[in-house]
Amino acid sequence: MGLAPGPEAWLISVGNELLIGRVVNTNMAWLGRRLTLLGYRVGAGLVVPDEVEAIAWAFRTAVDRGAKVIVSTGGLGPTFDDKTSEGLAVAMGVELALNEEALKMIEEKYSGALTESRVKMARMPRGARPIPNPVGTAPGVEVEWRGALIFLLPGVPAEMEAMFERHVEPKLRSLGPRPHCAEALLRVRGVPESLLAPVVEEAMKLSALAYIKSHPRGSELGQHVVDLHITAYGSTAQSAEEEVERIASYLARELQRRGAQVSRASCAGEMP
């Protein structure tokens, strides 16, 4: 199977600071996790510089490859290098226009004291809708284009997370039923990853709705340690849980037969 049977989502991160390694891209990890648990298949993540043509390329590529949801972070502020809205407008072939609703949001943030750089944050692709920012000043952007629902969010993690939870996630939940996700994590000791591979391959054949990823952890007390992360999907939460348990039980049984020590470990995060 792929990573999930649900609609495909793409992530776009904008910022030179990400590409030169000055800032760690925690936004992409956070969003990938949330979208996966919401039942979306995260098909790809792109990181591009603060350049209009590069940003436009990223949005065109995501839409051309069939993304139904696109979430970008970064490039919405008041400075000269905040160019995400402009890049999306270029990709869409529409004008970058002043959005009156967004302008009112900004006016309220600054108590009516507007400058050209602050007004810049209210310029959006024509036809877009602003997303309120409860933490910072720059509104987000929501627009539909060629069958894709696109959300532009700020790069500051606290702002991005608040806007996703208050606006984007409820919107995505309202679009209709998606697969439920369940997870399990097995910690395997005493068997190298190369000997685990055939067992994992056989387990993958048992289900079209499960995916297994191995993560080598080095060694402890001279033993190989490998984590097996199992993700399964179902039409209900119960069916997803049953599927992941079935695969986990098979793996544990077969690996123990080969002399491995297998234990359950905690998966980070839960179903939202």
Boundary residue ending a domain (173, 191, 225):
173
Domain that includes residue 247, residue range: 180-265
Q: Report the pLDDT value the prediction gives residue 269, as an integer from 0 to 100.
A: 42
User: What's the number of domains the chain is made of?
Assistant: 2
271 domain-assigned: no
For residues 29 and 146, membership in a common domain is answered with: yes
What distance in Å separates the CA atoms of residue 49 and residue 128, rounded to the nearest whole number? 23
User: Chain centroid to CA 205: how far?
Assistant: 27
232 and 131, same structural domain?
no
Among 140, 173, 206, the domain-final residue is 173
Cβ burial of 111 (10 Å; 0-12, 13-18, 19+) is: exposed
Asked whether residue 245 falls in the same domain as residue 113, the answer is no
Structure pTM? 0.79
Give the ranges where 75-187 is alpha helix by DSSP (H): 84-92, 100-109, 116-120, 157-163, 169-173
DSSP secondary structure letters along 43-86: EEEEEE-S-HHHHHHHHHHHHHTT-SEEEEES--SSSTT--HHH
Same domain for 221 and 162: no
At 217 the pLDDT is: 84
Q: How many CB atoms lie within 10 A of CB 189?
A: 17
Furthest CA-CA distance within the chain = 71
247 and 130, same domain (yes or no): no
Domain shared by 74 and 144, yes or no: yes
Whether 2 maps to a domain, the answer reads no
The kind and range of the H/E element at 228 are strand 223-234
User: Looking at the domain assignment, is residue 88 inside a domain?
Assistant: yes
188 shares a domain with 103: no
HSE of 208 in the Cβ direction (CA atoms, 13 Å)?
1
Domain boundary among 121, 151, 173: 173
Does residue 160 lie in a domain region? yes
* Domain-located, residue 3: no
Q: State whether 20 and 121 are in the same domain.
A: yes
pLDDT at 120: 96
Nearest to 89 by CA among 54, 126, 129: 126
| Cβ contact 187:265 at 8 Å | yes
Assess whether 132 and 64 both reside in one domain. yes
Q: What's the confidence (pLDDT) of residue 178? A: 73
Residue 238 amino acid letter = Q
Residue 89 is part of a domain; what is its CATH number?
3.40.980.10
Distance CA(3)–CA(233), nearest Å, equals: 10
- The reported pLDDT for the residue numbered 3 is 43
Residues 205 and 259 in one domain: yes
Amino acid at 101: E
What distance in Å separates the CA atoms of residue 142 and residue 140, rounded to the nearest whole number? Answer: 7
- The C-alpha atoms of residue 155 and residue 158 are separated, in whole angstroms, by 9
- The alpha carbon torsion through 60, 1, 7, 86 (nearest 10 deg) reads -20
User: CA 127 to CA 42: how far, in whole Å?
Assistant: 26
In a domain, 272, yes or no: no
Residue 250's Cβ-count burial label (10 Å; 0-12, 13-18, 19+) is: middle
Residue in 83, 46, 37 with CA at minimum distance from that of residue 240: 37
CATH number of the domain within which 208 lies: 3.30.70.600
- Could you tell me if residue 239 is inside a domain? yes
The answer to whether residues 112 and 13 belong to one domain is yes
In tens digits, the chain (272 residues) has pLDDT values of 444 457 899 999 999 999 999 999 999 999 999 998 888 889 999 999 999 999 999 999 999 999 999 999 999 999 999 999 999 999 999 999 999 999 999 999 998 889 999 999 999 999 999 999 999 999 999 999 999 999 999 999 999 999 999 999 999 988 866 778 889 999 999 988 888 999 999 999 998 888 899 888 877 667 889 999 998 888 888 988 999 999 999 999 999 999 999 998 776 544 33
Whether 1 is in a domain gets the answer: no
| Predicted pLDDT at 52 | 98
Domain match, 31 and 154 both = yes
CA distances from 24 to 20, 81, 157, 269 (A): 10, 19, 11, 20
